[in-house]
Structure 1
Amino acid sequence: MNITAADRLLFVGDSITDAGRDRADIASLGDGYVREIARSLRTAAGPTVINRGVNGNRVYDLEARWSADVVEHRPTVVTVKIGINDTWRRYDRGLLSPVDEFEACLDRLLARTRDELGARLVVITPFLLPVTPEQETWYEDLAPRTEAVLRVARAHDARTVRADLALPRAAEETGPAALAPDGVHPGPRGSRLIADAWLTAVAPGTRN
């Protein structure tokens, strides 16, 4: 994908995208993978980068705010990172997000984005780095959800960033807690890995 200074890159998702951004500051990118991507791209093409991640979001929350947080910004490239909370809420709150409904909702969002904006699409797969035995059981829900994300990405010709492969592979050497202390939220090393995976999939040649 050719990223230029004229592009507007918008990232939307849950806390992994949010990463502590200042909601009152449109330029705030947080301390996660979005900031790392922006740092790499600014040394190369220099596009506008917008972070619209919100802590705790599931896919249905994205749909509720899609007009204000995505469409109104008129991005040329939209990256979506969603899914882990749709799984997590099943286990900590008993709040279900059936995979077929999750998939249909994500499909609507990507279809709308392409139809209304003509934006190029990028999807980052959800991932988990279990640090407790309980988290190992989450794969029962997360594995089919990840497959749903991949199906939707293929259906809309979206670039796919396989965070579900890159982070567990790295964790074999470092241990999961070194990348995501709670198994879900990446620290600096985990964020950099996601950024590098995005750059490799979307903008090869711009990795620092």
Structure 2
Amino acid sequence: MKRIVTFVIGILFVTLSATAGGVRVLFIGDSITDGNWGNSCGTAKPSSERTLWDMNHIYGSGYMYLCATYYQGNYPEKEYEFFNRGISGNTLEDMEKRWETDAIDIKPDILSILIGTNDIHFYLQGNQKQPFDFEVWKKRYCSLLNRSLQANPNLKIVLCAPFVANTGSMRKSPNFAKRDSLVRCCAKIVERISRDYKAVYLPYNTMFDEILRTIPTSKDTYWIWDGIHPTPAGHQHMADLWIKHVKL
């Protein structure tokens, strides 16, 4: 988007073209990123059906919102632009189907991805006749990064580890140990991918491990209320880690 600025010097008109807006930061993933952005009413509405003009709900309510408010509130002169494209219930395959519209077309300078917990969730809900195919999962993940880097070779990438916790209703799950093991395998793959692509890696899994181990609370739901979704307190720690390591 361009804005035209015209200066009058005597009788000579000088027109300058300036780029509007600053660094473009895109957060994409599942419900943890979604946070009901664009008035989705808790549904998995595609981005095209969400409210893109209502600035009161444009970011949702989660770590992405906290990151955006930190930078936009403290550095207005930078004119940072933030975009939330998390969609509740998404797996990596779901995200792949919307990658052109929700990632490439936004033309981000910084791309932050958090995905994986739903891939394991839906796998565990299936018949599980075959082991979860981590190799296919990794190839799909890398394919999305390659597409984005082809569109913008200078793209800065931030990869976030998926996580799960034995808190709240998750305590009733008979297969938590298997879920935890599989999600941690996904996190290790994301960590390896981050090294291969020289991306910033955010170990949210180990961050929550440490919080749950060292900060006791009267309720086990204080940080992650259902084993998957962080509370506002948990989202604050996620935002703090993002801001600390990404450094716009």
Under a length normalisation based on structure 2, what TM-score does the superposition of the two structures give?
A: 0.76
Separation in structure 1 between the aligned mates of residue 69 and residue 193 of structure 2, nearest angstrom = 29
Q: Contact 1:18/1:55 (CA < 8 Å) preserved in 2? A: yes
Separation in structure 2 between the aligned mates of residue 139 and residue 182 of structure 1, nearest angstrom = 14
Structure 1, unaligned stretches of length 5 or more? none
Of 137, 150, 162, 1:115 maps to 150
User: How many residue pairs end up in the alignment?
Assistant: 200
3-state SS in 1 of match to 2:221: helix
3-state SS in 2 of match to 1:51: strand
Q: Contact 2:34/2:60 (CA < 8 Å) preserved in 1? A: yes
Of 10, 23, 30, 2:26 maps to 10
Q: Aligned residue for 2:18?
A: none
Separation in structure 1 between the aligned mates of residue 26 and residue 34 of structure 2, nearest angstrom = 12
Q: Please say if 1:139 is aligned against 2:180.
A: yes
Q: Mean alpha-carbon deviation: is it higher for 31-40 or for 18-27?
A: 18-27
Query: Structure 1, residues 85-132: CA drift from partner, whole Å, max 9, x if none?
Result: 111112234477521111111011111111212211001110111121
Q: Mean alpha-carbon deviation: is it higher for 12-21 or for 92-101?
A: 92-101
Q: Aligned residue for 1:197?
A: 241
Q: Mean alpha-carbon deviation: is it higher for 126-135 or for 33-42?
A: 126-135
Q: Mean alpha-carbon deviation: is it higher for 63-72 or for 138-147?
A: 138-147
Separation in structure 2 between the aligned mates of residue 125 and residue 15 of structure 1, nearest angstrom = 14
Q: Aligned residue for 2:138?
A: 103
What displacement does 1:171 show? 1.5
Question: Which protein has the larger Cα radius of gyration, Structure 1 or Structure 2?
Answer: 2
3-state SS in 2 of match to 1:137: helix
Q: Aligned residue for 2:35?
A: 19
Under a length normalisation based on structure 1, what TM-score does the superposition of the two structures give?
A: 0.89
Query: Structure 1, residues 1-49: CA drift from partner, whole Å, max 9, x if none?
Result: xxxx610000000000001111222651110111000111111344100
Output the amino acid matched with 1:86.
D
Q: Contact 1:111/1:156 (CA < 8 Å) preserved in 2? A: no
Separation in structure 2 between the aligned mates of residue 190 and residue 11 of structure 1, nearest angstrom = 17
Aligned-CA RMSD value: 1.8
User: Which structure: greater helix fraction?
Assistant: 1
Separation in structure 1 between the aligned mates of residue 158 and residue 147 of structure 2, nearest angstrom = 14
Structure of higher RCO (CA pairs closer than 8 Å, 6+ residues apart): 1
Equivalent pairs: percent with the same residue?
Answer: 25
User: Which structure: greater strand fraction?
Assistant: 2
Output the amino acid matched with 1:31.
S
Output the amino acid matched with 1:181.
W
Structure 2, unaligned stretches of length 5 or more? 1-20, 39-49
